[in-house]
Amino acid sequence: MHRIKRDDLVLVIAGKDRGKQGQVRQVFAGENRLVVQGVNMIKRHMRPRAMGTQAGIIEKEASIHVSNVMIICKSCGKPVRVGFRMRPDGAKSRVCRNCSEDID
């Protein structure tokens, strides 16, 4: 089980986009990287490939390292570290280290 998942709200704590918030669009678990909406924007010069693809300079999000973001707790609204707890039914759930509420 991973600490940060798709559609989590995160705060960037390091790098050129420090202080920005966004939703996680994609997680690359094997590489410890993720793509956050509106963060780490890069420009790509794209050549027209198939019908319908846009050519020119396209701005898109690049991946950032997991260590550069902190998840924002839904209950306390603060950037927090993530812990894990076993539920009574045997499932493992993510827990806010600040307010001890379930994140999932």
Q: How many domains does the chain have?
A: 1
SS3 call for 87: coil
Q: How far apart are CA 102 and CA 85, in angstroms?
A: 9
Please indicate, yes or no, if residue 64 is contained in any of the structural domains.
yes
Q: How far apart are CA 85 and CA 58, in angstroms?
A: 43
pLDDT of 35 over the 70 cut: yes
CATH at 22: 2.30.30.30
Query: In the structure encoding, which two tokens stand for residue 63, read together?
Result: 């991946």
Please indicate, yes or no, if residue 71 is contained in any of the structural domains.
yes
Confidence band, pLDDT 50/70/90 cuts, at residue 21 = very high
Task: Give the range of the structural domain holding residue 13, as residue numbers without chain letter.
Answer: 9-50+57-77
Please indicate, yes or no, if residue 98 is contained in any of the structural domains.
no
Please indicate, yes or no, if residue 44 is contained in any of the structural domains.
yes
pTM of the model: 0.84
pLDDT average, residue stretch 8-34: 95
Please indicate, yes or no, if residue 88 is contained in any of the structural domains.
no
Please indicate, yes or no, if residue 33 is contained in any of the structural domains.
yes
pLDDT digits (tens, 9 = 90+) for 54-76: 789 999 999 999 999 999 999 99
